[in-house]
Homo-oligomer: A and B are copies of this chain.
Amino acid sequence: MNRVDESPRPSETHDIDGMASDLRMATFRLARRLRAQRAVDTMSDGQFAVLAALTMHGSHTLGQLADRERVTAPSMNRTVSLLEDAGYVSRTPDGDDRRKVTIALTPEGAAVVEETVRRRDAWLVEALGEFTDDERRTLAAAAAIMRKVAER
């Protein structure tokens, strides 16, 4: 058994049910807190998530965006329309299959992503400053694991 800190209690590591509850509550709570920090912006989470997806994974069709964000096509259509009206994304009909529409980030959209990330992280960076190096190391390691869990 690989021990990472001074006194891990083995029995607790087998209480996966309790740990899952703790992790679920902590995740929801932190997500809510982080989300609240967007108060300075006018952009919703859903809109920002689309811009972030376009930033990370390039252009998408409407259907691809809807699948990625796990919303229906009409919901995504509405979100994309709002982003288009704001000048943050462009719609371009696909050359091969003219039923499809390619949604791409505009330079203005890219700038908004950068600025929003900066603002959102500011609060978290300040909060993390009050924790210990060990605690921050734990969070960094956990973040990588959480991503793997979410990708399941």
Cβ of A82 under 8 Å from chain B: no
* Chain B residues in 8 Å Cβ range of A149: 30, 33, 124, 127-128, 131, 139
- B143 close to A23 (CB less than 8 A): yes
Number of copies: 2
**Size class of A's contact patch?**
35 or more
Q: Which residue of chain B has the shortest Cβ distance to A6 in the bound complex?
A: B141
- B4 close to A125 (CB less than 8 A): no
| A 10-24 to B, binary, CB cutoff 8 A, 1 in contact else 0 | 101100110111111
Bound-complex Cα distance A49 to B150 (A): 21
Sample (13) of A-B pairs whose CB atoms are under 8 Å apart:
A2-B134, A4-B134, A5-B144, A8-B141, A13-B140, A16-B128, A23-B142, A29-B146, A29-B147, A33-B150, A127-B152, A131-B148, A138-B138
